[in-house]
Amino acid sequence: MSLPTSEEIRAILRQRVHDPELQLNIVDLGLIYEIDVTPEKTAEITMTLTSPGCPAGPEIITNVQREAHMAFPDLEEVNIHLTWTPFWNPDMLSDEARDELGVF
């Protein structure tokens, strides 16, 4: 089997990982900054949360790791790199998320 692309991982996260408070997927929320897949069968995912004190943060991070592993069993590791640079803001929402949340 071949390793997934960053786009394939992003698509799975869009389908399967939602912010439990906002009920929107984390990709359209703009929480996933970068995904790199290494030849060593590791996915390196750089992401943020809507705030440093996000109560759903641990759940979201766990779900990202679990869903990437479940969808792509050839990955040996899924490493999450939590960053606050740039700090998340509503401008990072996709058009779909803006419509859903009523942000214009």
Question: For 20-61, what is each residue's pLDDT tens digit?
Answer: 999 999 999 999 999 999 999 999 999 999 999 999 999 999
Confidence (pTM): 0.94
Q: Nearest to residue 60, comparing CAs of 21, 95, 2, 88?
A: 21
Burial class (CB in 10 A: 0-12, 13-18, 19+), 42: middle
Domains of the chain: total: 1
Residue 1 pLDDT class (50, 70, 90 cuts): low
Residue 46 in any domain: the answer is yes
Domain that holds residue 34: 6-90
pLDDT at 83 over 70: yes
99 in a structural domain? no
pLDDT level of residue 104 (50, 70, 90 thresholds): confident
Where residue 34 sits, what CATH number does that domain have?
A: 3.30.300.130
Does residue 100 lie within any of the structural domains? no
Has residue 73 been placed in a domain? yes
